[in-house]
Structure 1
Amino acid sequence: MARIVRFHEFGGPEVLQIDDVPVGEPGAGEVRVRVGAFGLNRVETLYRSGQFGPVTFPARIGYEMAGTVDAVGTGVTQWRAGDRVAALFGQSMEDYGTHGEQVLYPADLLVPVPRSITLEQAAASWMQYGTAYALVEVAHISAGQFVVINAASSSVGLAAIQIALREGAVPIAITRGRDKASALAELGATHVIVSDEEDVPARIMAITNGQGAQVAFDAVGGEPLSALLTAMAPQGIVIIYGMLAGYQCTLALPPLMLANLTLRGFSADLLVRDAASRHRLADYVGSGLADGTLIPVIDRCFSLDDIVEAHRHLESNRQIGKIVVTV
């Protein structure tokens, strides 16, 4: 038996509880992992509240974790007991929810944890760096390019800042409130725009000397997206990976057409479905974690027993970086 986070009805953080659940032996192609830590992700709040559709109760939850292999199933040759591993994302939480003391997971969707980092750091890495890796795999950013990153204080936003810097690009961070601006500058953003106080397109144009940004990594969507298009350089690309400002927007087509812009929707699980792109992602992020060019930012650690409080903190929007739960 293992202590596993589950919910028996939809609702707020208070519906989460820790149940004793038999985990069983790994099946063919699976590994059993003793979890050391897991990160929280906003999609889990949507899943828990019923916005992902029906689930079978009681339901497991969780996209991320890092820990130590304690058993392998038939056909698994790349892992053995004692290996430190982290989970790649995109699996069904109902089938492979990761929040608990012990989990089963597909062997092909695990990556090694570098010796130079802790399991807590590993648990705070793969979802955010894997998502922000779109800047490399999709946008093909290069040295000297201006990269606009909104929702910049999120774990993905901070990962995008670090990846932009690693590639020699110039990250322009956007945050809603002044209270997070100084922290973003300290964490590597070359420029910081406070959207509640400033005209975002005008500031982008001023920072880029009137040429506009070559890349935008957009977690906000909604109506602000239309304004963002007016601050893009010719043949720029806007990658939309979130909808914090709403599911719909009214687009002004002239900026899109006249500047020959690319508007690209992006879901990070695309990168793990294909073996070739999955290996490129693993090599890029793994090497960055090992050499210290990618350093996960942890906002706060909670214990497993405090899972409800951890989810409340996630929904408070006060965090800068990743919320991690230690097991």
Structure 2
Amino acid sequence: MPGRDDIGGQTRARRPRRVTSFDVAEAAGVSQSTVSRALAHDPSISQRTRERVIAAAQQLNYQVDENAARLRKGRTGTLAVVMICRAGQDRNDINPFYFSLLGSTCAAASTRGYEVLVSFQDSPENFWGHHEERRRADGLIVIGTCENAAAWDYFGALSDRGLHWVCWGSPDDAFDWVRSDNRTGAALAAELLVDRGCRDIYCLGKLGSSQRQFDERWDGFSEAMRGRGHAPRLAEVEPGLSREEQGRRAVAALVDAGTPFDGIFAVCDEMALGALKELEARGMAVPDDVAIVGFDGARAGAFSSPPLTTIEPDFEVAGALLVDRLLAQLGELDTPGNRVPVRMLRRGTA
């Protein structure tokens, strides 16, 4: 029977042969190289010949091999994204903020015609950044926690090899980074708490943290508080704990010490949610007794009780800046800025 093969007494349908540029060339009455140039819009090909080639390609349902075309141009058409985790961290425990950022980054890459390779890396056993050298991707975007110092040491060395990469979450300014407008966001939080009548306001955080954005948020909070005639106060969180547990214990310490407080700005939403749980356990009403503002715009905050007031970065802009700064390194775009605008999401906790 035509179109079928007999193998071991069984009949199996043969796959149709893939149409190639040579088939298009034969149908159009031109050379294979002319087909390639015509479909790439080479100006050396006349309009009449181009139209004949396009008509033949459509008739044969010919699809251009994008991978081959990109390789001829020295590009893979792919970007690699690495999510840095804490050593041994369960992937389900990663801060939801990073998943939102990952999604917006992949969306921005797709809009610009790039595919994305995603990997999660947490220890020297799985650190890998050779995508560009192996021709698997044109460049690298690194996202994740600053607490994994070994990871940042590893990826920081990529610059010494002339590779192209940008990052979110770097512990210092030595790399090509993108961050939220942390100072402005923290100032918005402080001003909201003061304007609603809070007087004993504490920032939950830790000075000198490897999380560079936390220091920036403390600076913005402090400046805004002083500008409103209030002394900035810090309730330091304990290192080595989950963010939620850090927020819970910081609030517990304030209550146990008899420290008066009626407003809290937490440097991240997970700390804010931990504080909210502890206040509820202590029988303190939010926002009547204590108002809370977080930072990150984590989706979980919308479903807390009451819903968490937070400072949210523009995730769409964040993903676009990460991609565009990488494409600028590749010579495809002018270099954009590296600060992501933020906005206040006013909900039930403030």
The bucket for the TM-score relative to the shorter chain is 0.3 to 0.5
TM-score normalised to structure 1 length: 0.35
The answer to which structure, 1 or 2, has the higher relative contact order (CA under 8 A, 6+ apart) is 1
Q: Which has the larger radius of gyration?
A: 2
Q: Please state which structure has a larger fraction of its residues in strand.
A: 1
